[in-house]
Amino acid sequence: MYFIRARCDAHAVIVAANVLVGVVAALHAYFLVLEMFLWATPFGQKTFRRTRAQQEETKALAQNQGLYNGFLAAGLVWSFFAPPAFAFSLRAFFLACVIVAGAFGAATASRKILFVQALPGALALALVLAVR
C-alpha cells in the first residue's frame, strides 16, 4: 500500500511541477506582450504607474526587456518538447535565469518583482528538483 501511495504522491509532484513551469512560462509571455507592445498604452501606464511621457521615454528599453522575457518563456516551453534527459537541464537553467532576473529586478526596480517573477520561478525550480 505504501508503494502505491508513494507513486501517487510522486505523480502529483510531477504534475504540480509541470503546471508551475507552465505558469512561469505564461507569465513571461505576458511580460513580453506587456513590455513590447503595451508599454506606452493606457494599460501599460496604469500597470507601471507612470505617465505617458515616462513610458514613451523608456519604450525601447522596455521592448528589449520584453524580448528577454520572451526568451525565458520560449526556453521553458521548449522544455516541454525536449527529450526528458535534456528537459530537466533546460528547465533548471531557464528557471534559474528567471530567479536571477527577478532578484535583480527586485533589487533595482521594484520589490514587487520578487513576488511576481522570482518566487514563482523558485517554487517551480524546487518542484522540478524534487522530481529529479
Counting the structural domains of the chain, the total is: 1
Q: Rounded to 5 degrees, what angle do the CA atoms 76, 65, 79 make? A: 5
For 14, the domain range is: 2-130
pLDDT for 7: 57
Closest CA to 76 of 124, 113, 118, 123: 124
pLDDT for 85: 85
pLDDT, tens digit only, all 132 positions of the chain = 444 445 557 889 999 999 999 999 999 999 999 999 999 999 999 998 899 999 999 999 999 999 999 999 999 999 999 998 899 999 999 999 999 999 999 999 999 999 999 999 999 999 999 988
Cell 505558469 belongs to which residue? Answer: 23
pLDDT for 119: 97
